[in-house]
Amino acid sequence: MCAPNGNHQHSTTTATPNTILNLDLMDGNQRAAVANHARLEAEQVYCLNLMSSPGTGKTTLLESTLGSLDINIRTAVLEGDMTTELDADRLRAYGVPVVAITTGRACHLDADMIGGGLDRLNLAALDLVFIENVGNLICPAEYPLGEHANVVLVSVTEGEDKPLKYPVMFYEADCVVITKTDLSPYLKVDIDKLKANIRQICPNVPVFALSAETGDGMPDWLNWIQKQLAERFAPRPGEPIGEKGNW
Ligand X SMILES: Nc1nc2c(ncn2[C@@H]2O[C@H](COP(=O)(O)OP(=O)(O)OP(=O)(O)O)[C@@H](O)[C@H]2O)c(=O)[nH]1
Q: Which of Mg ion, ligand X, none does residue 36 bind to, with CB < 5 to 8 Å depending on kind?
A: none
Q: Of residues 117, 135, 146, 163, which one binds ligand X by CB under 6 A?
A: 135
Q: Which amino acid type is present at position 60?
A: T
Task: Give least dist CB 140 to Mg ion, A.
Answer: 13
* 58/162 with CB nearer Mg ion: 58
Q: Of residues 30, 44, 52, 75, which one binds ligand X by CB under 6 A?
A: 52
Among positive and negative, which fits the CA dihedral 222, 209, 33, 116?
negative
Q: Is 55 left (phi over 0), alpha (psi -120 to 50) or beta?
A: left
Residue 87 interacts with Mg ion (CB under 5 A)?
yes
Scanning 6-14, 34-42, 81-89, 192-200 for contacts with Mg ion by CB under 5 A, the matching segment is 81-89
> Binding mask 157-196 vs ligand X (x if CB under 6 A, - otherwise)?
----------------------xx-xx-------------
Q: Are 78 and 123 in contact (CB under 8 A)?
A: no
Q: Which of ligand X, Mg ion, none does residue 180 bind to, with CB < 5 to 8 Å depending on kind?
A: ligand X
Q: Residues 92, 145, 43, CA angle at the centre, nearest 5°?
A: 70
Task: Give least dist CB 59 to Mg ion, A.
Answer: 3
* 190/213 with CB nearer ligand X: 213
Ranges within 11-50 binding ligand X (CB under 6 A): none
Q: Produce one character per residue of 177-213: b if its CB has 16 or more CB atoms within 10 Å, e if not.
A: bbbbbbebeeeebeeeebbebbeebbeebbbbbbbbe
The 10 Å Cβ neighbour count of residue 18 is 12
Tell me which residues touch Mg ion (CB under 5 A). Answer: 58-59, 87
Tell me which residues touch ligand X (CB under 6 A). Answer: 52, 54-60, 87, 135, 179-180, 182-183, 211-213
